């Protein structure tokens, strides 16, 4: 039986995350967005709350929390600033996740504790110029030379790319084997041949660093392979499934922020002698926004519950991500409409919410890819 009743501990964690986000993140979110500034100071504060290691087992310095708790925190952080939730979700789901699930004992001991403490930042490098939705088409290669692998290639649109202390990189170790020839490597910053390229100038989540990574004859020890040669595609797909649950929660958080701003404005703004909220058409629009948010949250919680119960959840993760992301864009669009012309200027935060929401339909698998994933499950 599926149950979404939160425990007293989860309710406390959610309230604590909301208070932290409103106190430390919300007041500076707009400024960081305007400057396109990744704040190490703010990231350190998030880490001190334990949020960078929410899903990391206690034995490695993390909170050892379940996925449901993780989603609660992601929603609250996203409500204040989606860019900060990117750093948190990236660390937990896209980097700590594959190390927990596929890494060696030595890799877990070396990388998980500093990740959980926020002492190390990281990134997950899968996307390439010719390998976006077609993630199996990896042109980055790794060739074995004695006790080392020589890595060559370019990764693009990598969240945290310019500030990461290490990267998980998916590369082809056997082009003829296609997806069976992909391998996951840990590549540390400072490794000769590993450089950061262009920092992207983005529409939204501008306080999150996104950059190009370049590998030129970059030598990686054999010990830095995750899960063994040829397991990279499985690792990448499993990692993205987990990440999509978090994107669903992120969409809910962004949409909540937009809805709350629209509701406040509708109560305060008067036209034709009455507050906007007294007009039935606008009140109905707010009701639809709230229903969409609640629906997306339930889809996300279902996917989180299934993952916590060790049940198959790939379809539900895709549904949570697809609906949550497209819902966030719709709700933010409606919030701007309610604000009228004021919604189009930076004095009001709804334009930032709209810009931030848009990326959720693209990263960790576009909406089109999510529909393909869902179809593969329901149309068998």
360 and 344 co-located in one domain: yes
Provide the β-strand partners of residue 195.
Answer: 214
188 and 140 co-located in one domain: yes
Any domain includes 3: no
380 residues of the chain, pLDDT tens digit each: 677 789 999 999 999 999 999 999 999 999 999 999 999 999 999 999 999 999 999 999 999 999 999 999 999 999 999 999 999 999 999 999 999 999 999 999 999 999 999 999 999 999 999 998 988 899 999 999 999 999 999 999 999 999 999 999 999 999 999 999 999 999 999 999 999 999 999 999 999 999 999 999 999 999 999 999 999 999 999 999 999 999 999 999 999 999 999 999 999 999 999 999 999 999 999 999 999 999 999 999 999 999 999 999 999 999 999 999 999 999 999 999 999 999 999 999 999 999 999 999 999 999 999 999 999 999 87
Angle of the 280-308 helix axis to the 67-80 helix axis, nearest 10: 150
DSSP for 258-296, written as a single string: HHHHHHHHHHH-EETTEEGGGSHHHHHHHHHHHHHHHHH
Domain boundary among 99, 121, 143: 121
Q: Is 253 in contact with 78 (CB distance < 8 Å)?
A: yes
Q: How many domains are contained in the chain?
A: 3
The label of the residue with tokens 């937009």 reads 258
Element spanning 212, H or E: strand 210-221
68 and 187 co-located in one domain: no
104 and 240 co-located in one domain: no
Domain boundary among 87, 121, 155: 121
CATH number at residue 79: 1.10.540.10
Any domain includes 297: yes
The label of the residue with tokens 């960790």 reads 364
**Can you give the pTM of this predicted structure?**
0.97
Any domain includes 21: yes
Instruction: Return d(Cα 204, Cα 86) in angstroms, integer.
Output: 12
Residues marked as catalytic: 364
Return the closest-CA partner of residue 157 out of 359, 355, 324. Answer: 359
Instruction: Return d(Cα 94, Cα 92) in angstroms, integer.
Output: 6
Any domain includes 1: no
67 and 166 co-located in one domain: no
Task: State which residues form the domain around 89.
Answer: 8-121
Domain boundary among 106, 121, 136: 121
**Sequence-separated (6 or more) residues with CB below 8 Å from residue 62:** 50, 53, 54, 55, 56, 96, 112, 116
310 and 300 co-located in one domain: yes
């Amino acid at each position: 039986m599926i149950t979404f009743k939160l425990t007293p501990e989860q309710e406390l964690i959610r309230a604590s995350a909301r208070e932290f986000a409103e106190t430390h993140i919300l007041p500076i979110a707009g400024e960081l967005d305007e400057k396109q500034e990744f704040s190490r100071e703010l990231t350190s504060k998030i880490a001190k709350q334990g949020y960078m290691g929410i899903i990391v087992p206690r034995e490695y310095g993390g909170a050892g929390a379940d996925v449901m708790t993780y989603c609660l925190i992601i929603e609250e952080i996203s409500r204040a600033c989606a860019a900060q939730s990117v750093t948190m979700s990236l660390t937990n789901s896209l980097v700590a996740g594959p190390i927990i699930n596929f890494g060696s004992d030595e890799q877990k001991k070396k990388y998980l504790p500093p990740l959980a403490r926020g002492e190390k930042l990281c990134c997950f490098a899968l996307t390439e110029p010719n390998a976006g939705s077609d993630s199996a088409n990896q042109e980055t290669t790794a060739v074995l030379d004695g006790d080392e692998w020589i890595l060559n290639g370019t990764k693009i649109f990598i969240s945290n790319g310019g500030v990461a202390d290490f990267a998980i990189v998916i590369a082809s170790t056997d082009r003829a084997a296609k997806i069976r020839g992909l391998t996951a490597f840990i590549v540390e910053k400072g490794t000769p041949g590993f450089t950061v390229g262009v920092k992207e100038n983005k529409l939204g989540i501008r306080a999150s660093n996104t950059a190009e990574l370049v590998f030129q004859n970059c030598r990686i020890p054999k010990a830095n392979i995750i899960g063994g040669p040829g397991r990279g595609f499985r690792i990448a797909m499993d990692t993205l499934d987990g990440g999509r649950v978090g994107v669903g929660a992120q969409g809910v958080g962004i949409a909540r922020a937009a809805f709350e701003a629209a509701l406040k404005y509708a109560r305060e703004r008067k036209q034709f002698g009455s507050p906007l909220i007294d007009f039935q058409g606008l009140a109905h629009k707010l009701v639809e926004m709230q229903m969409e948010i609640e629906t997306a949250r339930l889809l996300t919680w279902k996917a989180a519950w299934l993952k916590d119960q060790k049940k198959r959840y790939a379809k539900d993760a895709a549904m949570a991500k697809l609906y949550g992301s497209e819902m966030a864009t719709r709700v933010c669009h409606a919030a701007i409409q309610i604000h009228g012309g004021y919604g189009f200027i930076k004095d009001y935060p709804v334009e930032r919410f709209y810009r931030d929401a848009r990326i959720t339909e693209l990263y960790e698998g576009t909406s089109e890819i999510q529909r393909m994933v869902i179809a593969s499950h329901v149309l068998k």
